[in-house]
Amino acid sequence: MPARPLVQFPDRRLSLPADPVDAFGPRLSALADDVRDTLLAVSAIGLTAPHIGVPERVVVIRLSPDEDLRVYVNPVILWASAETTPHEEGSVSMPGVRERITRPSRIRFGYRDLDGAAHEEETDGFSAAVIQHEIDQLDGIFWIDRLSRLKRERLIKRFEKSNAASSR
């Protein structure tokens, strides 16, 4: 499957909740392959179907180049710890800017695999932050929405400045 073009900030589609997947089969597998191939092409850690313009709850994650890719369909956070940890975050849909986001340190989440089987996992640290970041995207919460208004406005200005400089 080919890599697809990324939806870029400030495209409104990045702020829309994705639809739950209810049909498991070849079409879903092809979509997951497209998300995977795009993730690999842009060297991302995590990517959702909305990042490639498809408003469905599909996530592909690869935490490091030596790890296998993981596909999560309809992921949802079931529990989050009260303890939090800040992590540097960014998005391939808004390249060139990063900021610290504080999220729960540990989570339990449920999801379906490509065959529709239900699973639950518990994770912590960087992995938990990545899962939460991608589930936010599926919920229509772009990562900068987690920043204070002032930090968000400054980050958008930096992004616009960097975009203007790179387009000259």
Which residue numbers are catalytic?
Answer: 134
Cα distances (Å, whole numbers) of residue 127 to 14, 16, 55, 107: 22, 24, 23, 9
Q: Given its phi and psi angles, is residue 29 left (phi above 0), alpha (psi -120 to 50 degrees) or beta?
A: alpha
Cα distances (Å, whole numbers) of residue 165 to 96, 159, 160, 161: 12, 10, 9, 6
What stretch of H or E contains 29?
A: helix 26-42
